[in-house]
Amino acid sequence: MTQLIWLTIAFPIAGVLFNGLLGRRLGHRVVSVVGPLMVLASFVVGVGAFADLLARHGEAVNVPLWTWAAIGSFEVNLSLLVDPLSVLMVLVVTGVGFLIHVYATEYMVHKDESGHAHPDRDFARFFTFLNLFIASMLVLVLGNNYLMMYVGWELVGVCSYLLIGFWYDRPSEEQAPIDLGEGAEPVKLPPLLSPAASGMKAFIVNRVGDVGFALGVFLIWTTFGTLQFADVFSQVPHMAEAMPAVLSWIALLLFIGAMGKSAQIPLYVWLPDAMAGPTPVSALIHAATMVTAGVYMIVRSNVIYSHAPGVSMFVAVIGAVTALFAATIALVQVDLKRVLAYSTVSQLGYMFMAVGVGAYTAGMFHLTTHAFFKALLFLGAGSVMHALHDVIDIRRMGGLKNKMPVTWLTFWIGGLALAGFPLMSGFFSKDEILAKAFEASPVLWGIGVLTAGLTAFYTFRAIFIAFHGQPRDRHLYDHAHESGPAIRFALVVLAALALVGGVLGLPAFLGLPHALDSWLAPIYATGEHAAAAGEHGLSLGLELGLMATSATVAVLGIVVAYFFYVVNPAIPRRMARSLRPVFVLLANKYYVDELYNAVFVQPGLKLARGMAQGVDALLIDSVLVDGLARLVGQIGRQVSRLQTGYLRHYALATFIGVLILVGYFFLR
Distance CA 415, CA 510 (A): 26
> Cα angle vertex 585, ends 189, 263, to 5°?
85
Nearer to another protein, 78 or 418 (CB): 78
Torsional sign, CA 603, 606, 612, 616: negative
- Give the closest residue to 387 by CA, choosing from 466, 459, 333, 281: 466
Nearer to another protein, 59 or 626 (CB): 626
**By the 8 A CB rule, do 501 and 495 touch?**
no
Nearer to another protein, 540 or 658 (CB): 658
CB atoms within 10 A of CB 111: 17
Number of chain positions touching another protein (CB under 8 A)? 35
Distance in Å, CB of 651 to another protein, minimum: 6
Rg (CA), the chain: 28
Q: Taking CB under 8 A as the criterion, which residues in 92-131 touch another protein? A: none
Distance in Å, CB of 628 to another protein, minimum: 10
Nearer to another protein, 190 or 636 (CB): 636
Distance CA 228, CA 441 (A): 34
Non-local CB neighbours of 322 within 8 Å, separated by 6+ positions: 264, 265, 268, 345, 346, 348, 349, 352
Distance in Å, CB of 10 to another protein, minimum: 14
Q: Taking CB under 8 A as the criterion, which residues in 52-81 touch another protein? A: 66-74
Nearer to another protein, 154 or 517 (CB): 154
Distance in Å, CB of 532 to another protein, minimum: 44
Nearer to another protein, 66 or 590 (CB): 66
For residue 562, the Cα-to-chain-centroid distance in whole angstroms is: 31
Q: Single out the segment in contact with another protein by CB under 8 A; choices: 173-181, 436-444, 524-532, 626-634.
A: 626-634
> Cα angle vertex 141, ends 136, 147, to 5°?
80
Complete DSSP assignment for 609-623:
HHIIIIIIIIIIIII
**By the 8 A CB rule, do 30 and 67 touch?**
no
Judged by CB under 8 A, the residue of 117, 510, 619, 656 near another protein is 656
CB atoms within 10 A of CB 69: 9
Is residue 548 involved in binding another protein (CB under 8 A)? no
Distance in Å, CB of 342 to another protein, minimum: 40
**By the 8 A CB rule, do 283 and 378 touch?**
yes
Nearer to another protein, 70 or 566 (CB): 70
Distance in Å, CB of 626 to another protein, minimum: 12
Distance CA 626, CA 493 (A): 62
Is residue 664 involved in binding another protein (CB under 8 A)? yes
Distance in Å, CB of 664 to another protein, minimum: 7
Is residue 668 involved in binding another protein (CB under 8 A)? yes
Is residue 639 involved in binding another protein (CB under 8 A)? yes
Distance in Å, CB of 21 to another protein, minimum: 12
Is residue 657 involved in binding another protein (CB under 8 A)? yes
Judged by CB under 8 A, the residue of 172, 602, 622, 654 near another protein is 654
Distance CA 485, CA 639 (A): 72
Nearer to another protein, 245 or 660 (CB): 660
Distance CA 482, CA 487 (A): 9
Distance in Å, CB of 641 to another protein, minimum: 9
Nearer to another protein, 624 or 653 (CB): 653
Nearer to another protein, 112 or 665 (CB): 665
Nearer to another protein, 155 or 508 (CB): 155
Judged by CB under 8 A, the residue of 64, 191, 627, 633 near another protein is 633
Nearer to another protein, 571 or 653 (CB): 653
For residue 1, the Cα-to-chain-centroid distance in whole angstroms is: 28
Distance in Å, CB of 635 to another protein, minimum: 5
Distance in Å, CB of 28 to another protein, minimum: 24
HSE-CB of 282 using CA atoms within 13 angstroms: 32
Longest dimension (CA), the chain: 108
Distance in Å, CB of 642 to another protein, minimum: 8
The SS3 of residue 501 is helix
Is residue 21 involved in binding another protein (CB under 8 A)? no
The SS3 of residue 281 is helix
Distance CA 574, CA 99 (A): 42
Distance CA 644, CA 634 (A): 17
Is residue 25 involved in binding another protein (CB under 8 A)? no
Q: Single out the segment in contact with another protein by CB under 8 A; choices: 88-96, 327-335, 604-612, 635-643.
A: 635-643
The 439-458 contact track toward another protein, x by CB under 8 A, reads --------------------
Cis peptide before 266 (omega within 30 of 0): yes
Distance in Å, CB of 223 to another protein, minimum: 25
Complete DSSP assignment for 44-92:
HHHHHHHHHHHHTTT--EEEEEEEEEEETTEEEEEEEEESHHHHHHHHH
Alpha helices in 165-194 (DSSP H): none
Nearer to another protein, 238 or 637 (CB): 637
Judged by CB under 8 A, the residue of 169, 222, 485, 666 near another protein is 666
Distance in Å, CB of 225 to another protein, minimum: 19
Non-local CB neighbours of 586 within 8 Å, separated by 6+ positions: 328, 329, 331, 332
- Applying CB under 8 A, the residues found at the interface with another protein are 66-74, 629, 632-633, 635-637, 639-640, 643, 645, 647, 649-651, 653-654, 656-658, 660-662, 664-666, 668
